[in-house]
Structures are given as structure tokens and as C-alpha cells.
Structure 1
């Protein structure tokens, strides 16, 4: 794959990967301190404009939540899936599932167990903090039995816990949109088995996939809805996305219009709000602030909007003051760069017949 990539294209890809991951984390952190407040409560505490920057959450400013934690483990699972091909093994949902089980451990254990060789990400001590994880995510990972489309975990759950972690599937630019959609869906049912829960994840991933390649949000949405419409149970997801598109044409964006799309606790509402705010954003900061200043799941809608805007514009478009104060930024950049190298230069990092390199320790094929 690397031979097909010019240096300029590799640099653009890395900038968009970084932008997608860090942008999502910035949106997550902007919403972290107001996630459970109504719009009236947000304005009462922070002024008529609501939050205009980070507020304290989890004892610090710029703190991320479970949304970013799970997104990072999604990225790690995808890298390890590609490494495992050296052993003739190729089933990415299994590798993502194992990554989510590692995330689950960070929600209850005191810190990393140095006796276990599970790669570098799970040894990052700052990740060992419970940040209001969704009940469906926790229940779906209570045991090591993997949910599938035939037998999904939490068959009635359509919370936003699957869609908010699914941007990394869209970063697989060498894949077709259909395969990106399918992988996002198969990894969503690990915890969320309602069609709206997993189809929204698929739609989100395909939109990110389009943005990563320089297409517009509109083009990405059209392609994603076409794929989704072929699946049973697509009606809620498609209706919510179409409502977001229609809202763009109603006038000047404001929190009232955001709240007409819902509160973001369910997958289709979070997706609709994130899409709407990204579509109407005159700049990244304005889009992110619009995405979090509403009654509802502010961190998830901010995260989704940030993933979209970061993938669209690249890392240098992100507000520098917000990036500088973001919790875990170093880890995110390492992971983003590792993903970029794996997707574009994997032959130099590992191979079935080549020597074992440092990469095998970072991403063990287990």
C-alpha cells in the first residue's frame, strides 16, 4: 500500500488522522463538564453563551470521557488486526473486541498490570479512570463472549455508546465504503444490538471515510444513507440524518435548533446533532461549542462533531489553546501516528517472513 502513496498524500492522511482523533477528544472534553445539565442550567452556571471553553470535569480542565477512551482502543484494535495478518489471521471484529476488553479493565482496575504483555496502550496509567461509561458498553463486555449480528449484545440498546467510538473505522481509507460500514456495524453489536444503535455507527464511519479522502460531508452522508437503506431497521437512523440535513436550511444555527434534533442519548440523535453542527460550522471552534451547548449528552455530540471536523480540516485547524490543554494528547498523537504508519508503511514495520521489530512489542499479535 505504501508504494501507492506519495509523500504529500501520506502527510495529508496523517494530518487528517490526527485531526479526527484529537478533534473528537477536544469536543468530548468541552462537553465533559456539562454532560448531565439542561441548557438552562448550563447558561445559569456559565453565562448566556453557555460554555466557551473547557470547564472542570473529573478534577481537571480538558478531561476526556469514555467516548475518547473507547475511540483510542478502537484504533489500537484496528492496528493489531493488521499486524495479525502476518500469522494468517484476519478478523478485525475479534481484535477490536479484545481491545474493548482491555478498555473495560481500565474502568475497574487500579492501574496497569506490568506482568501482562498486552501492548503499550493499556499500560498508559492516565487511562485508568472511570469516566461515566455507558451501561450497555459495560454489560456487553461483562464476559469474553463476543456479540455478533446474529447474536448481538444488548439487543434492545440503541444508546450512543457505539456510534461515538466508530470514527476510526472511517480512517481505513484503503477500504471500500461498504466494508467500512460493515466493520463498524459488526463492532457496534459487541455492545449495542438495536439496529438504530449499530446502523448509526455504520453511517458515521462512512461519513468520516469520505471526509478522510477530501470529500464533503454532504457527499459522505449521501453515500452512507444509500448503504444504510439496504439494511433492515434503518428507518430511525435515516430519518434522523435527514432531519439534520433539513435543519441546515432553516436559518441561523443556535442551540434551539440543536435541541429540535434531540438530546443525543440515543445513537441516531447523537449522530444527527454531530452532523448538523459540523455542517453549519463556520470554523472548528464554533462548531464544537454549538455541539456541546444543549440539554443532553454533550460530550458525545461534541466528540462526533470533532471527529468530523478534524477529519475534514486536519489537525492544524483545531483550536491551539484547546489542544494544548487536552488530557492525554501525547498518547493520542502517538496512536494516530502509529495508525498512519501501519496503514501506509506496514512493510517496513512487520511481516510474516521478516525479523521481529519493536512494532511487535507495541502491538502484539494476541
Structure 2
């Protein structure tokens, strides 16, 4: 069945673009995860075509969307922890496949009876990019309000992350919230950086990377650009690649170098290697939020189907387009389609508690 495009520039159009861009970036970057730019070039030349499906980045983003649809602005860290316990921990019947270190550590912490914020501090991977990879739905939900987007992402992050891991999620959520208004890439990334302390590792790495982009990067080759970024922000002595400050820096710089175009941003990010599925997913979410659904290459969008639930069985069969539509409905106040319960797998109770006025955001998004 062909799904009709949403009106260009509408909240639904931008939300679809954001999550389709995220899923496409996740899938494109997946086979290049943990590789160097040189190894990617030797294998593919330029990695530009999706070979398989996405990873936990897309599945956890759908999970985050379900939390927002259930609790809205009243979301608490205990709500998030309880969802993890009921929908992730309780459903495990063997190894947790495809999850990152922070997610595995959080499951173990919750299983031991810990709760937030200790559950995000107990394991040694609180600085990972596991929150940054799933932060885009918070930016969609709080479109036009980067402070609120960052706040909601941090509430989620307290369950699974600490320190720079939480800051990475705040930066991505705030940036997506501004991208949802149609702002240009420079304004978008600056909003992301304002959401974190200026002397943080996340901010310092991102500013180093963005300085490389802005210092005549259009005159450098892809290889020279990748090498300059790696020399500037990559922690070469560390054996893993899922560092949040590094992922945010690479994703933001790829997005700006791509001029906000989905394909250019995602391909640039994926070919930088390291945690390529996450950096390409973040770049795709930012560019997609700005460009809308039509900005995602059709050949990629066709490859984005319902997720398999390999990491999170609770989201199996769900599609990012459906999540985007329902998040957009919270902005417009005009629900379309089936009940929220069809997406979240729980009570269709909708946003509750803290009732924020959305008039300013609606004017920004629809005016």
C-alpha cells in the first residue's frame, strides 16, 4: 500500500522525514560500524546504498516514541525504568542481541533492582551514544522547543546513562527540535550545543568538528575531511567506538557538510566509520526533519520497513512512519488513524500531567 505524502513542511511531513532519515542512516551505516574510513573506501569506494536492515538505533527510537505517546510531557525517569522492566527486561529469554554496552548494562542494573539514576551510573558505559541514537523522537515531540526536548531526553537518559552520555542525548534532541522548524543546519547544531555545558567533552568535540567543516571543507576531498575529523575528535586509543561526544561531533559535522540534504549528510556520516550506524542515523534525523519526507531518497525509503524486533521484541512489526505520524498528531491536536495503543502496545492514555501550551510551537511549525 502506498502511503500518501504529508503536506510539505507540516509537522507530519517533518516528523516522517526525521524518523525515515534516522532509519535509513541506521541501515546504511550498519555494515560500516567499527570500520575506518580507509577500510570503508577499500570495500565500497563510497558506501551509498542500503544493504540490509537497521539496528537497535531504530528500535530504541520507536521505544522512546512509545514512551512519549503514553506519558507526554509528564514523562518521568521512573516511567522509563518501569517500561524497561516490563517491556525489555521481563521479555528476555536469552542473550540480548544487537544491544549496545549501555543497554546491556542497564538491563543488568534494573534486573538487580537498581533504579534511576543509579541504573545509569552502575555500569561503566554511561558515556555511550545509546541515548543520542534514540533522542530524535524527543525533538519531534517538543518541536520548536529545544529546552523541553533536551529535558525529556535527559529524563530518559537517567535510566541508562550518565555524564556525557546524557549530554549527547540532550544535544541531539534539542537540535532535532529546531530542525523541525525548518531552520538551517548552522542554527540547528548551535541549538544542540546550547543544550550542553560549553566546557563539556560533547561541546568541545562538536565545535572542533564543526570548525573543520566551516574552514573550507567544501574544497577538501572526502578522504581529507574524514582524516581531519578523526585526527581532531576520535579517541584512537579506546577500543570501542560508541562514545557519545565522538558520535555527536561526527554526526553534526556530516549534517552541516551535507548542507542539510538527507543523502549528502547520511552518506558523509556513514563513510566516516566508527559507530557509523549511529552517526548516520543522527545525521539522517536532523536532515530529514528539515527536508521532510520527500527529502529522503525514495530508494532508501522503500528499504525502510517494519522493524524485526531483533533487539527489542516489544517493537517488532512497527514502522517509523507510524510513530512519526502519531508524534506529529500531538503537535497538531488533530489525531488521524488508529489509537495510540496500536503503536505503544499499552494503554492509550495519551499525554497527561504537565499540560504545556502548544500554541507557540504550532505557530512556528504551521505558520
Find the counterpart in structure 2 of residue 206 from structure 1: 174
2:21 pairs with 1:23: yes
Q: Distance in 2 between matches of 1:256 and 1:50?
A: 15
2:263 pairs with 1:280: no
Deviation string for 1:177-221 (max 9, x for gaps)?
32221221221121111x111112111111111111122232233
Deviation string for 1:299-340 (max 9, x for gaps)?
011111111111111111101001102242771111211222
Q: Distance in 1 between matches of 2:102 and 2:34?
A: 18
2:204 pairs with 1:239: yes
User: Aligned residues, how many?
Assistant: 316
1:197 corresponds, among 159, 162, 165, to 165
TM-score, normalisation: structure 1: 0.76
Q: Distance in 2 between matches of 1:39 and 1:149?
A: 37
**Residue 130 of structure 1: CA displacement?**
5.8
Q: Distance in 2 between matches of 1:331 and 1:348?
A: 16
2:93 pairs with 1:139: no
Deviation string for 1:136-194 (max 9, x for gaps)?
1121123264322897453662111111111111112367432221221221121111x
**Residue 26 of structure 1: CA displacement?**
0.2
Q: Distance in 1 between matches of 2:20 and 2:193?
A: 26
- Unpaired runs of at least 5, structure 1: 1-6, 56-60, 111-128, 350-356
Q: Distance in 1 between matches of 2:325 and 2:122?
A: 32
2:332 pairs with 1:344: yes
2:184 corresponds, among 212, 216, 220, to 216
Deviation string for 1:83-116 (max 9, x for gaps)?
xx9xxxx334333334444663598449xxxxxx
Given that 2:14 and 2:180 are in contact with CA atoms closer than 8 Å, whether structure 1 keeps it comes out as: yes
Given that 1:37 and 1:296 are in contact with CA atoms closer than 8 Å, whether structure 2 keeps it comes out as: yes
Given that 2:14 and 2:293 are in contact with CA atoms closer than 8 Å, whether structure 1 keeps it comes out as: yes
Alpha-carbon RMSD: 3.1
Q: SS at 1:294's partner residue?
A: coil
Given that 1:158 and 1:267 are in contact with CA atoms closer than 8 Å, whether structure 2 keeps it comes out as: yes
2:247 corresponds, among 267, 270, 282, to 270
Q: Distance in 2 between matches of 1:256 and 1:222?
A: 24
2:47 pairs with 1:51: yes
Relative to structure 1, is the Cα distance of residues 23 and 183 closer, same or farther in structure 2, using a 3 angstrom cutoff?
same
